[in-house]
Amino acid sequence: MAVFAIADLHLGFGVSKPMSVFGTRWEGHEQLLAERWQEAVAPGDTVLIPGDISWAMTLEEALPDLSYLDRLPGRKILSRGNHDYWWTSLAKIERFCREMALESLTFMRNNSFAVGPDIQVCGTRGWLVPEDPEFQPEDEKIYLREAGRLQLSLEAAVKTDGSALRRIVCLHYPPFGRTGQPTLFTELLSRHEAGLCVYGHIHGAVREPAVPEIPGARAYRLVAADYLNFRPLRLDDLV
């Protein structure tokens, strides 16, 4: 059993939002993603999807995108991104997936998941951090709330198994700022001894941004779909 991650799928089967307007690399990305996913991922594997999953505004609009993911191999653990406006309460999403028989999808919100015998997956959306030049006073409340949600997720993992299992944390936003100063997110990763943090949100990068020497996870990986050329990244050898 292997663990993979890929974020920022930006699916839009139920809405008119062609990703090709963001550059030629996005032309036909749904087919390319499906092909490369099926090349890499086996039915017994797990794929983490840290946000920006669908352009839909409602669960009903998101159904074609969620069905597309459900048909791909493996178990999927989804967390929210800043464009996932269809994301409602966890109870509503889980009920909707049961009604639609979307059996391979699970959703992360203030919880954690065991993957195999020794890996725990935690996470939340994250947000802009205070050192970001775009951070505004109104962002402070959301930043603190998302840090609280990450803490709840990490604490849920400890309650599940207090031993220091390998921990992978999913965030949609990078957990550090552009110059790499520590944040509430990196402090939580350090306190809970996370081995790996995967994140998305950054697009168009020729190479992964340099990660400064900051406290927190022992490793960070950018897993935005276009950065990965739409091939899920295997994680279990990195954590």
pLDDT digits (tens, 9 = 90+) for 21-41: 677 788 889 999 999 999 999
Q: Please give the average per-residue pLDDT across 158-182, as a whole number.
A: 82
**pTM tops 0.85:** yes
DSSP state of 132: S
- Enclosing domain of residue 117: 3-234
Q: Which amino acid is at 221?
A: R
Q: Confidence band (pLDDT; 50, 70, 90) for 55?
A: very high
Q: Is 141 exposed, middle or buried (0-12, 13-18, 19+ CB in 10 A)?
A: exposed
- Flag the least confident range among 53-67, 112-126, 156-170: 156-170
Q: Report the relative pairing of strands 119-124 and 113-115 from DSSP bridges.
A: antiparallel
166 inside domain: yes
109 inside domain: yes
- Flag the least confident range among 11-25, 72-86, 200-214: 200-214
239 inside domain: no
Q: Residue 49: give its domain's CATH number.
A: 3.60.21.10
140 inside domain: yes
pLDDT of residue 206: 47
88 inside domain: yes
141: enclosing H helix or E strand:
helix 139-160
pLDDT of residue 85: 97
- Cα 65–234–125 angle (5° rounding)? 55
Alpha carbon of residue 177 to chain centroid: 18
User: How many domains would you assign to the chain?
Assistant: 1
On whether the CB atoms of residues 238 and 221 are closer than 8 A, the answer is: yes
215 inside domain: yes
Q: pLDDT (tens digit, 9 = 90+) per residue, 117-167?
A: 889 999 999 999 999 999 999 999 999 999 999 999 999 988 776 555 789
176 inside domain: yes
Half-sphere exposure of 73 (CA within 13 A, CB side): 18
